[in-house]
Amino acid sequence: MRLSDIALWVFTLAFFIFMILPIAVVVVISFTEAGYAAFPIPGWSLKWFARIFEYEPFIDSLITSLWLGVVATVASCLLGIPAALYLSRARSGWATVITTFLLSPLSMPMIVIGFASLFFLSALGFGISFLSLAIVHTVICLPYVIRTVAAVYRAVPPAYEEAAMILGAGRFTTFREVTLPLIRPGIAAGSLFSFLTSFDNLPVSYFFGSAQTNTLPVVMLAYMEHQFDPSIAALSTLQLLLAIVALVVADRLYGIEKMTVAT
């Protein structure tokens, strides 16, 4: 084996350790018996997971985050799928400009989006509300749906849709029977990324936090400002588990390989 290959393997291994080790530490600490983070673990216990369900703000904010993630994902799909289908086939130079504009939230700092959205939506009269939060989360989730659906749709030969129309199918029937089954992996990937992005978002959600609209990341941050115990680690472990379950379900339904190609 050449020296360059050995160096590449060492670098790759070090990179994975650097990425995975902090996550592993959080998971281990969530099972500690002590009320603080310490190594070695003095004892094993599930009491910090029980603490999650005993502390009402955790449960209330979790429900808010789940609803928000679903609303933002559905809204992103309703807006993003038609946009992706049109822009993928458009020949106009404006299509590139519009696509860049719709994908711009990916390249902008989230804190800037949150700060600007707070002023803009307040000026429109929405204020700090669940609707405002849903609108902003839709904005930051929309690019994921557009990117994944557009990537899949560009790989679909136009001849499939043209053949369906020649055989007498209308636009809606063609979409339902031909286009939709072909772009479904892209929709699944975009929906998955949208939900996880919304569920884990802190910078944008922080600007719209109130007693009725606090999301789970905002409540976790507020909790850590006053006390630091392993319940935060336990909650982070559950969030990680949710992401893993979502990936497993997506893999069973569509296959990670197809979704990876789509993105």
Quote the pLDDT of residue 257.
58
Residue 233 within any structural domain of the chain: no
**pLDDT tens digits, 129-171:** 899 999 999 999 999 999 999 988 988 888 888 888 888 888 8
Inside any domain, residue 15: no
The pLDDT tens digits of the residues spanning 15-37 come to 888 888 888 888 888 888 887 77
What tokens does 68 get? Answer: 């928000």
Q: Does 168 reside within a domain?
A: yes
Q: Is residue 25 part of a domain?
A: no
Q: Is residue 194 part of a domain?
A: yes
Domain assignment present for residue 77? The answer is yes
HEC profile of the chain: CCHHHHHHHHHHHHHHHHHHHHHHHHHHHCCECCCCCCCCCCCECCHHHHHHHHCHHHHHHHHHHHHHHHHHHHHHHHHHHHHHHHHHHCCCHHHHHHHHHHHHHHCCCHHHHHHHHHHHHHHCCCCCCHHHHHHHHHHHHHHHHHHHHHHHHHCCCHHHHHHHHHCCCCHHHHHHHHHHHHHHHHHHHHHHHHHHHHHHCCHHHHHCCCCCCCCHHHHHHHHHHHCCCCHHHHHHHHHHHHHHHHHHHHHHHCCHHHHHHHC
Entry pTM: 0.82
Count of domains in the chain? 1
Considering the domain boundaries, does residue 154 fall inside one? Answer: yes
CATH code assigned at 92: 1.10.3720.10
Q: Which domain range does residue 220 map to?
A: 56-225+245-262
Is 148 inside any structural domain?
yes
